[in-house]
Amino acid sequence: MSTREVFTDRLQAGVLLLPTMVVSLVFLYYPTVRAVGLSLYRASLARGDVFVGLENYRRLASSSEYLRSVLISVLFAACVVVGVMAVALCISFLIHEIDVGKGLYLVAVIWPYALPPAVAGLVFLFIAHPNIGIFTSYIEAFGVDVNWFSNGPQAFVVVLIAAVWKQVGYNVIFMTAALGNVPESLTETAELDGVSRTRRLLRVYVPIISPTLVFLVIMNTIYGFFGTFAMVDLMTKGGPAGATNILIYDLYRTAFQFYEFGFASAKSVVLFVAVGLLMYGQFRLSDRYAYYGG
């Protein structure tokens, strides 16, 4: 018997939805409309607001620095999604396969996700710092000169590893739960047929938990574009030479370092539309490849 309560009184349903609607209007829809409007102005603290139409968008389209930031952001988000999904899937499968100490392994994997992004950035800063990093000497023992304060590709890789490390725990929570719902009879049948663990993971488990994987791909994409600001700010500040200047950090610099609020609003609108289109594409793709049963 269903325990869901159905509200037939529209007034009662409206009152219950009112807090959510107010919060959405104040913190989501109004800022969105305000950002779109402000993107049509040359807004600054010193000269006030001057209507310029689509000038900010034309300036974006002709800015080589901004286009480079777009490419870096897309590459960074793609690497985050692939890295997080691959590492989390392997760890979740290993945890799923063991019988003893599963809870301890889960806690050990999940705790980085419990850290605030700023704290996670500081922790990884001291882990991989070129001079005082805990692991720096071990890496340099392999002939690698660790100096990601001046080496762009190294800085990109270090921030990427930190971002993956921070997000793996979130994915493991969902993947472990999804693997726990796989019928035991499938596992027993695969074992009796002599299917290896790798093939069992890729050919049996992954198709069954594909709805969860699609959800995580979408959440990781959003995280790759919007959730790594604190790490970039603490570890590299977008440098060196713009190697880690992803769009969300570039937007922050435009608004709060250069005080070009209209130009920053145009960047936020473009970022919002681009990520929205990406989400739409992922949802359409999930309908084709995800297995929802039935």
Which pLDDT score, from 0 to 100, does residue 5 have?
Answer: 64
The band of 2, judged by pLDDT with boundaries at 50, 70 and 90, is low
Mean pLDDT over 88-93 rounds to 94
- Cα 127 to Cα 121: distance, rounded to the nearest angstrom: 10
Whether 169 shows a pLDDT value over 60: the answer reads: yes
Superfamily of domain 57-289: MetI-like (1.10.3720.10)
Residue 229 buriedness (CB in 10 A; 0-12 / 13-18 / 19+): middle
Mean pLDDT to the nearest integer, 18-46: 89
Mean pLDDT of 272-292: 78
Q: Of 71-80, 107-116, 167-176, which gets the smallest average pLDDT?
A: 107-116
Q: Is the pLDDT of residue 294 over 80?
A: no
Residue 235 is which amino acid? M
Q: How confident is the model at residue 83 (pLDDT cuts 50, 70, 90)?
A: very high
Mean per-residue pLDDT for 153-176? 93
Question: In whole angstroms, what is the distance from residue 261 CA to residue 5 CA?
Answer: 47
Domains of the chain, by residue range, sit at 57-289
Question: Could you tell me what percent of the chain has a pLDDT over 70?
Answer: 95
Q: What's residue 4's pLDDT?
A: 62
Q: What is the 3-state secondary structure (H, E, C) of 64-133?
A: HHHHHHHHHHHHHHHHHHHHHHHHHHHHHHHHHHCCCCHHHHHHHHHHHHHCCHHHHHHHHHHHHCCCCC
Per-residue pLDDT tens digits for 255-280 = 988 888 999 999 999 988 988 888 88
CB count, 10 Å around CB of 256? 11
